[in-house]
Amino acid sequence: MRIFLDTANVDEIRQAAKLGVISGVTTNPSLVAKEKREDMKAVIQEISSIVDGPISAEVLSLEPEAMIQEAREVSSWSPNVVVKIPISASGLEAISVLSKERVKTNLTLCFSLNQALLGAIAGATYISPFVGRLDDIGHDGMQLVSEIVEVFDRYKLPSQVIAASIRHPLHVSVAAQAGAHIATVPYTVLMQMIKHPLTDIGISRFAEDWRSIQK
């Protein structure tokens, strides 16, 4: 199980990288826009200079040929870039061409087992089921993660499952139990994962007890 950071905020990425627990980053156009950064290439290259692992950057083209051209361009930005491609007929066509060129891809906006299956068969390196967005509409997002992991295991499909659209620490624990290869988490969730009230109480009690015997 690995943890990626789901953000385009380079300050957050720098802070998280220091902890030694982040092995990749995922971005999307909304996350880059949130940082008011207009130059996607500059953002992705800056992130690549901080984190060695896979950095997902998303294409915006919708037609297969344009998607493939854009993906080739995006993958040239840095050796560790993974091209994020939304699931669609065009997306599958692009992934199958790119996988033969050894361009790494991340099938994004995945909301069903069939979408995941098609992405894996087309040759996507990563498949990203969006857990939180499914929960938001009253479905069980983590159930989808379990189903994808089980089917990929059964048929020995090599795509790695990224539990995405993570909203809170429990999502990460359950994703790990479900066998997701990766959970991509917002910075706030990463910070919440560190905390436990009993740890805080324990630390202050140790300090108080030690102070109590000092002259």
Matching residue, tokens 């994020």 = 84
**Which of 18, 34, 36, 84 is labelled catalytic?**
84
Give the number of C-alpha atoms closer than 13 A to the C-alpha of residue 105, restricted to the C-beta side. 32
Which positions from 150 to 189 touch ligand E4P by CB under 6 A, shown as an x/- string? --------------xx------------------x-----
Instruction: Count interface residues toward ligand E4P (CB under 6 A).
Output: 11
Whether 84 is a known active-site residue: answer yes
Q: Do the beta carbons of residue 8 and residue 47 sit within 8 Å? A: yes
Q: How far is CA 28 from CA 189, 203, 205, in A?
A: 18, 39, 43
Alpha-carbon span 10 to 175, nearest angstrom: 25
User: Would you count residue 130 as binding ligand E4P (CB under 6 A)?
Assistant: yes
Alpha-carbon span 90 to 96, nearest angstrom: 10
User: Would you count residue 128 as binding ligand E4P (CB under 6 A)?
Assistant: yes
Closer CB to ligand E4P, 34 or 196, in the complex: 34
Q: Do the beta carbons of residue 158 and residue 151 sit within 8 Å? A: no
Alpha-carbon span 5 to 186, nearest angstrom: 6
User: Would you count residue 133 as binding ligand E4P (CB under 6 A)?
Assistant: yes
User: Would you count residue 28 as binding ligand E4P (CB under 6 A)?
Assistant: yes
Q: Which stretch binds ligand E4P (CB under 6 A): 70-78, 95-103, 118-126, 128-136?
A: 128-136
Candidates 33, 66, 54; CA nearest to 162 is: 54
* Minimum CB distance to ligand E4P, residue 132 (Å): 5
Alpha-carbon span 44 to 180, nearest angstrom: 25
Closer CB to ligand E4P, 26 or 125, in the complex: 26
User: Would you count residue 2 as binding ligand E4P (CB under 6 A)?
Assistant: no
* Minimum CB distance to ligand E4P, residue 108 (Å): 6
Alpha-carbon span 72 to 69, nearest angstrom: 5
Binding residue for ligand E4P, selected from 29, 132, 169, 179, defined by CB under 6 A: 132
Which residues of the shown chain bind ligand E4P in the complex (CB under 6 A)? 6, 26, 28, 108, 128, 130, 132-133, 164-165, 184
Catalytic residues: 84
